């Protein structure tokens, strides 16, 4: 990347130095201002101005250029020297390009005053050329390239067309400051609203993060029986409410209540068999009934008497 030249001056009464580097319109203007300050403090005569500062150009290219044209440059005015310097070392179309940049500049999202100062500084570099914009033209240029929100505020304010450029910029700055304050306030309110919503508890109908790890149902409510579960409970003397196998009650008489939805697992054939085996083990043994000896038949008395008579 090409190094840009720079200007140094230890004190207003000391001759300035133009350090080596690429000369730009801004650096050329800085060099011109530093030289003019020195001339004013030292009261340098016009005929001596160029020769008093020319050797402060430390870039070898510029120094050689001066030596080659020294008789002509020393004999002329300082303004003629600056014109020759810009023509020799600035881009050929620098003024046209800079004017195009000024005319194409738009406020966009920038603060108005910051943008307006930037445009004014660029236009100031064109001073002394035919591309420089007058205050009236610069005001029209700024007015035409305001952001939409600020344009509306300016139209409503009905600023006087006779205002100077400075006064007009001050009035528009005031309107833009109000616009930026409103934007900041709305942004803060939106952020506070977002933070408040994030802190609000979740509705009970929505699943919580802990319920998502349950094996059967992510909801806090117990789901209905599946056809398979209903068939198993029917075949194995179960209750549709408590969902237990081999119980002596049914749904209407159930006092056990529904299972916990967070720990409930679907019923299987294995659960039914396990419940059946458990119920068999807990059955009470049948008490044995004592054996009764057979009782002989009672014969009628007449038969017995008959037998005795036969004897």
Q: What is the pLDDT of residues 133-150, one digit of tens each?
A: 999 999 999 999 999 999
Helix ranges (H only) for the chain are 25-42, 49-53, 60-68, 70-75, 78-89, 94-104, 112-124, 135-144, 148-157, 165-199, 227-235, 269-281, 301-310
Q: How far apart are CA 52 and CA 36, in angstroms?
A: 11
Q: Output the pLDDT for position 138.
A: 97
Helix (H, G, I), strand (E, B) or coil at 182: helix
Q: Output the pLDDT for position 187.
A: 86
Q: Output the pLDDT for position 140.
A: 96
∠ CA 301-305-310 to the nearest 5 degrees? 150
The answer to whether 172 touches 150, Cβ cutoff 8 Å, is yes
Six-digit token pair at 81?
Answer: 């020297």
Q: What integer best gives the mean pLDDT of the chain?
A: 85
Q: Output the pLDDT for position 173.
A: 97
Range with top average pLDDT, 172-181, 184-193, 232-241:
172-181
What is the band of 55 on the pLDDT scale with cuts at 50, 70, 90?
very high
Six-digit token pair at 145?
Answer: 């390239």
What is the band of 240 on the pLDDT scale with cuts at 50, 70, 90?
confident
In this predicted model, which residue has the larger pLDDT, 227 or 34? 34
- The pLDDT > 90 percentage for the chain reads 58
User: Is 219 a residue whose pLDDT tops 80?
Assistant: no
262-308 pLDDT, tens per residue? 888 898 988 888 888 876 655 444 444 444 444 444 444 444 444 44
User: Is 209 a residue whose pLDDT tops 80?
Assistant: no
């Amino acid at each position: 990347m090409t190094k840009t030249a720079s200007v140094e001056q230890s004190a207003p009464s000391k001759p300035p130095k133009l350090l080596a580097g690429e000369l730009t319109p801004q650096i050329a203007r800085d060099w011109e201002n530093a030289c003019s300050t020195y001339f004013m403090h030292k009261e340098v005569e016009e005929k001596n101005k160029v020769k008093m500062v020319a050797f402060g150009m430390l870039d070898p290219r510029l120094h050689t250029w001066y030596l080659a044209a020294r008789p002509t440059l020393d004999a002329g005015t300082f303004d003629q020297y600056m014109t020759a310097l810009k023509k020799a070392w600035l881009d050929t179309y620098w003024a046209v390009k800079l004017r195009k940049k000024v005319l194409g500049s738009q406020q966009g999202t920038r603060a108005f005053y910051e943008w307006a100062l930037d445009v004014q500084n660029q236009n100031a570099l064109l001073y002394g050329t035919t591309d420089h914009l007058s205050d009236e033209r610069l005001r029209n240029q700024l007015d035409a390239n305001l952001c939409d929100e600020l344009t509306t505020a300016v139209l409503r304010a009905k600023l006087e067309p006779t205002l100077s450029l400075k006064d007009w910029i001050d009035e528009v700055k005031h309107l833009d400051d109000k616009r930026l304050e409103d934007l900041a306030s709305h942004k803060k309110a939106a952020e506070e609203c977002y933070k408040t919503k994030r802190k609000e508890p979740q509705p009970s109908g929505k699943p919580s993060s802990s319920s998502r790890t349950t094996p059967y149902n992510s909801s806090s409510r117990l789901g209905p029986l599946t056809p398979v579960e209903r068939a198993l409970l029917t075949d194995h003397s179960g209750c549709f409410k408590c969902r237990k196998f081999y119980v002596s009650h049914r749904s209407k008489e159930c006092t056990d209540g529904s299972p916990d939805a967070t720990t409930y697992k679907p019923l299987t054939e294995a659960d039914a068999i396990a419940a059946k085996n458990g119920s068999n083990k807990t059955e009470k043994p049948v008490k044995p009934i004592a054996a009764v000896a057979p009782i002989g038949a009672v014969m009628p008395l007449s038969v017995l008497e008959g037998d005795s008579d036969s004897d």
